[in-house]
Chain A
Amino acid sequence: MNVRALLFLLLGVGNAFAQGFAGLGTDAKGFAVPERGRHLAFPQDHGAHPDYRIEWWYVTANLTGPDGADYGLQWTLFRSALAPGEGAAWESPQVWFGHAAVTSAAVHRATERFARGGTGQAGVTAEPFAAWIDDWQMAGDSLDRLRLTATGKDFAYDVAMRAEGPIVLHGEQGYSVKSAKGQASHYYSQPFFAVEGTITLPEGEIPVRGTAWLDREWSSQPLAEEQSGWDWFSLSFDTGEKLMGFRLRDAAGGDFTSATWIAADGTATPYGNGRLVATPVETSRVKGQDIPTRWRLTLPDRRLDVTVGALNTQAWMDLGISYWEGPVRVAGSHPGKGYLEMTGYGQR
C-alpha cells in the first residue's frame, strides 16, 4: 500500500475502501471510536484528536469580487493517523495533509501539502486556535476571528473570517450517523463566517468578500464497507437559513441521507435517513468521466425544492486523493449559494 492509497483508503474514497476497511467498524486497531452522547467541549474540541484515525478542518467560502464575479475558496487540513496517539519528532504516527483551491466560473486551481506530525511542520492547537501545514494557516485568538491563508504555484489567498452566529452541532449533539449500520463521526460546523480579504491569481490581486463555512469532523470508522462515496452539500439561502446535507452512496443502490436545517439564529434541526432527497439531474464530462454537476434537492419537512448547479463544472481536485469540490448556485424555493463535494467518482 503506498502513501496515496493509504490516505485514499482512510478517507474512504473509492473501491479500495471496500477491501481495506473491512472489519474496521468493529475493531479500530486501538483507535477511539465516536460515542453517542459524548459531550463536545470547546475550545478543546477545536484541537486535534490524535486517538481517532481521521479528522479534518474544512473551510469553504463563497466570495464575490468587486465586479460581482463569483469565486469559491477551499482550505482543508486533514489528519490521518497510522496508529493512535502522538510521538516525538519522526516517531509520530500522525500524517497531515492540506488541500487548497480557488475556483472561478472559468478556472479551478488546486494544490496540496503533506507533513508528518511531531516535527512542527503541521498541527492544530485549540487555544489560541491555530491549524497549519507549512505556511498555510487558519489561526486567531479564538475560532470566532480567524485569518486564513494558503499559497500554491499559481494562486494564493489571505482572508479574515469573523463568526456572526453560533457553532452548530450535527446529528445528535454532534454525533452524526453515517450508515444504517451505525457508523458515525463527531461532526460540528461554524457556518456563519463573514469573510473579507484578497485572492491572488497570476493576473493580479482581487479583493473579495462573502461568507464561509467551517466543518469539523473526526472519526475512526467513517463509512460502511459497501458505501462507495458521498455527495455533500453546504448551502446558505438568501433568507439567512442554511442546510447541511449529504448522501452516502451504497454500491447496492440504497442511499443513506442525512441533513441539518440551520435557522438564521443557528438553531439546528437534524433530519435522519431518507428525509433529504438528492437527485442528480445533469452530468458533466470531468477528467474523462461523467460527474453530476446539477442536482435537485428536496426536503419536504421544510418545503425545500431547489436545483443546485456548479459555478464551474470542472472543479476537480486532481490531487493525491481526487474528488470534486466547488461552489454552487441554488435556485428554486430557496435561492442562495453554497458548496458541493462529491467523492468516490474517480477511478483512482
Chain B
Amino acid sequence: MKCIIGIILGLLIGFATPAFSENAPKSEFKPAKDFKLMVLGTRKLMTLEQFKGAPLVLEWSNPDCPFVQKHYDSDNMQKLQKKYTALGIKWGIVFSGKTAKIKEKLLKNYYRRDKKIAKDVLLLTDESGDAGHDYGAKTTPHLFVIDAKSNLVYFGAIDDHRSADDNGFDKAKNFVAPVLDDLIAGKTPTQEPQAPYGCSVKY
C-alpha cells in the first residue's frame, strides 16, 4: 500500500520538475537594422555603423504634431535629451517623408531656437521614408533605443500617458529613461516594448 503512495508522490515530483523551466527571462535582442539618415541641412550621411560604441536613441518627430508639441512645450523631451546626451548617449531626432521636406529653417527654428534642444542632439532626415519603414516607425513620437553593440533594446512609446493634452502628464511613467539608465549601468534593459502613441508618421 505504501507503494501506491510512493508512486503518486513520484509522479507528482516527476511532473513538477519540468514546470520550473517556464518563465525564463527573454534577454536576446535583435540586431538593429542599418539606416541611412541625412544630417539636416547638410549632405552628411549617417549610418548605424557610425554610432557603434555608444547607445543611440532615435526619436521620430514632427513639429506639427500635438503629441510631439506636448513633450516639447513641457520641456519633458529636452530634459531627457540633455540628461542622457551629457552621459554619453547619442540622440537623433528623425523626420521621415513629408516632414523631412519641411523647410530646413522651420525645423531648425522649432527645435533649436524655440525649444532649445541640447546641442549634441542631431536633427536627421529620412526623405524617402526607408529608415522609418525599416524600423516600423508608426507615430510621432516613436522611440528606438539601440545599445553600443547595435542591438535594438527598446522600441515604442515614450511614456504611458497616451494623450495629446498635458493633463496629469507629470505623473506619466517614462519607458525610455529606465532603459538608458540600465545601459549606462551596464545592465541588460528589462523594459518590454510598449505600443507607441501619437500622430501618424507622414510618409
Question: A and B, one complex?
Answer: no
